[in-house]
Amino acid sequence: MALRNIREDGDEILRKISKPVTEINESIEILLDDMYETMKNEGVGLAAPQVGILKRVIVIDVGEGVLELINPEIISQEGEQIAVEGCLSIPGVFGEVRRPDKVTVEGLNRKGQKVIIEGEALLARVLCHEIDHLNGILFKDKVIKFIEPEGKRRR
């Protein structure tokens, strides 16, 4: 496994639409492994364009084990939640984003098997955030209110 460089806001690759994976081969498996390695101590999710690969691949770990999804699609959503988000591609920026409270996402695992994930609360939010990356959307586009980091907050 290897760490990959995380692309940061301003890099135009983050604004492109990622392509569906048509064949799950060794390079996809390596990508999944590397994405997990790159994310694991830093965040709760990562999308392939964040490491410069325009493929519809995401990796998530909200503390319940790693979740790998290829070609993920939101097939249903309900409710609403507002919570603070950040992004490994936009260091130091945090803000409140409105998301569905529950989502059902369909995709493929690394064996090419169809998986259906039902996410609530944090998991729903992360699924939406990562799938947005595959469509060139960043969380800051959706922020209702930016939160100043502690160090910069005025007294």
What residues make contact with Zn ion under the rule CB under 5 A? 87
Q: How far is the CB of 154 from Zn ion (least distance, A)?
A: 27
Minimum distance of Zn ion from residue 65's CB (angstroms): 20
Kindly tell me which of 24 and 139 has the beta carbon lying closer to Zn ion. Answer: 139
* Residue 94 C-beta: closest distance to Zn ion, Å: 12
Quick one: 87 or 93, whose CB is closer to Zn ion? 87
User: How far is residue 52's CA from residue 100's CA, in Å, rounded to a whole number?
Assistant: 28
- Identify whether 68 is a catalytic site residue: no
115: left (phi over 0), alpha (psi -120 to 50) or beta: beta
Shortest Cβ contact with Zn ion: which residue?
87
Return the number of the residue (87 or 103) whose C-beta is nearest Zn ion. Answer: 87
Q: How far apart are CA 19 and CA 25, in angstroms?
A: 15
Coil, helix or strand at residue 133: helix
Report d(CA 58, CA 69) in Å as an integer. 5
Catalytic: which of 12, 120, 130, 150?
130
Residues classed as catalytic: 130
